[in-house]
Structure formats: structure tokens, C-alpha cells
Amino acid sequence: MTTKGPQSEHPSVTLFRQYLRICTVQPSPDYGGAIAFLEEQADQLDLSCQKIEVMPGYVITVLTWPGTNPSLPSILLNSHTDVVPVFKEHWHHDPFEAFKDSEGYIYGRGAQDMKSVSIQYLEAVRRLKSDGCHFPRTIHLTFVPDEEVGGHKGMELFVKRPEFQALRAGFALDEGLANPTDAFTVFYSERSPWWVRVTSTGKPGHASRFIEDTAAEKLHKVISSILAFREKEKQRLQENPHLKEGAVTSVNMTKLEGGVAYNVVPSTMSASFDFRVAPDVDMKAFEKQLQSWCQEAGEGVTFEFAQKFMEPRITCTDDTDPWWAAFSGACKEMNLTLEPEIFPAATDSRYIRAMGIPALGFSPMNRTPVLLHDHNERLHEAVFLRGVDIYTHLLAALASVPALPGES
């Protein structure tokens, strides 16, 4: 089999590959190239295009398809434009060439996370508009920067601005993960990232002596306590087949710092940890647990947060909920099997949910290995195109949800 020529390639696939070639890789993304691409799509689709600079160089692009009843809260389709770094020596093809092999796999950084979803949104709107469809609810497509490094210069700032409030979002969709089985994963909540740095101070001196009360000894006690907690959560996950990874709290030690020379006992050492706190955890009690681990290690042991998200929210997945009923009902009509889960990492959905807006994380990629942030990130063109079909049905259902109690 030979690779299809550009004339026989589906236009949606061609557009997807064009978007993948815009090098929006951290830490220096070509945001200008992405915005120009999106402005061109807005022009082609006859959508209004608004650009909101939340801080210098960080622009939220909003494309809008007005509904027939603009007084109703809108549907928000969110995606991020940035992608994570690559190690080109580990890739079979240039990660920004959007190479398509003879089997139809498209290689590119962002193929799964999440440029595919951005284009699926756009192509679903294109189909619905070309079919002459009109829906009561307005649809907003937001394309945001900075997600891959925490969203602190993107969605976290945007949700606090009047321009976000003016969108009057009633329900949102954002990214999910691929699923290697026939099923599709949908995320209704996510764990909260806590990045914690523990610093231990102790007596310094010559490394030939048995010095008491050293920074290393005390830090070792904290590390042991935290890793013992890690083992308990790991066992809880392994022993309960009904639990998914997002339902337990994970932690990994990611940095160990201190010391100046082999023969000098340092007065200060530190360890950094990446906690992902499950949404049902009592946050205040868990912070007290951190404090007690430090206190038990001895005097002069403290901790500080590099990141601390404290507002976990859970989106309803009960059939009595109109948004879930519309989403899951459309999936049932397409014979899709859904697996609702808690997202194990973090996305911009957490900022949206914290504003009281229900949000689901959904990337329609089944029978596909999870390759986000991995070498040779890729997506089959047939899976991508089916995702356009799926979003076409989902948008029609969600934008047609009738006025809910309390909505004007």
C-alpha cells in the first residue's frame, strides 16, 4: 500500500496535518502561527473571532457560532494550542512534519494531545453549518495557551475575566485520553496537583564525623513517611478492581537537592514531590498530614507549595442530569461504550469546573494506545475522522438541550 496523495486525502485530515505543523512546542510556542491559523478557520466558517490577551504574549482565541436563543447559557468547547517538548532522536519521523505512513497513522506532537480535538471541533461545526443546521444554544470554541505548563498564563487567568463571564457557558467539553479498548473514556473530574517542596535544616560539619541531627537524617524520615503513604495508595488501587488510577492519591519524589562537597555535611537539603490528590480527599486534613510528617521528622523541617489546587469539582454523570443525558444519549445513539473516570493528571477543566460550570473531558480515540507526551505520538486517520462524526452528533445534542430550570 502506498501513502495517499494529497488529492485523495480527506480535507479534514489535511487540515489536521496543517495544524500539527505549527510548532507550538513549549517552552517557546509559535502562538502567533496558531492564532493566524484559527483566524483563517473563523473566516472560512463565518464565525466571529475574539482575541483576549490575558497577559503579554498569551492570547485566548474565541470562535463563536451564535445560537437561535442567545439568552440561553452556551456550550464551551475548549482546547489548548501548546504541546510538550520532543526528543527528536527517539521519533521515527519529524514530530512537526505530520507524516502519514502507508497504514494511515499520522505522526506528530499534539496528534493526541490535543490538536486532533481542536480540529474535530472545527470540522464538526463546518459539517453542521454546511447542512444548514441551527441550534438554540450558542457554541463557543476557545483555544488557549499555556496548558502544558499549568494553565497559569491561560485558562486560570481567563476564567476570572469579564470576557469569560460574557460567554455565559452552561456546559463545557475539554480533552480526555485515548482508550486502547473498544470503549471511550470520559472524565467527569480530576485529581488536584500539589507540588510540594520539603526543606530540612540541621547541623553541618566535617563528613568524617557522626554528626547528630543532620538535615539529611530528618529529610530521610519525611521521605520515608511520604513513600509509605504512596505504597498504601498503590496497594489500595491494586487490591480493588473497581478503582481507577484517578480515584486514589498518587505521589512521586521528583527532585532531591542539597550539599556542596563530598566531605561537608550540609546544613540544608530539600526534596520535591508531585502529589495528585483524589477529589474525595479532605484537603485541609491532608495538609495537616503533611505538617505532621514534617514535625515528626524533627525541628527545622518545613514545606512549601509550588502549586496547590484546592477546588476539585465533580460533574454529574447521573442520567437525571440534562447535560449528561444529552452527552451519553448521543453516544448511545452511536453505539459508543463510555467508561466514566476521574482524570489522573490535570487539565484546564479544573479551572472551568471551579467556576461552577459542568465539564467533561473527552477525546474520541478508541482502539488507540495512550501516547500523549510520549515518543512517536500518533493517531490513525480513520480514528480521527470518526471523532469528527462523533463530535458532529454530540454538538447537535448539546446545543439543543432545552432551557433548564433557572435559565433565562
Which residues participate in catalysis according to the annotation?
82, 147
Residue 255 bridge partners (DSSP): 272
Assigned C-alpha cell, 5: 496523495
Beta strands 192-201 and 250-258, pairing class:
unpaired
**Separation between Cα atoms, residue 354 and residue 310, nearest integer Å:** 9
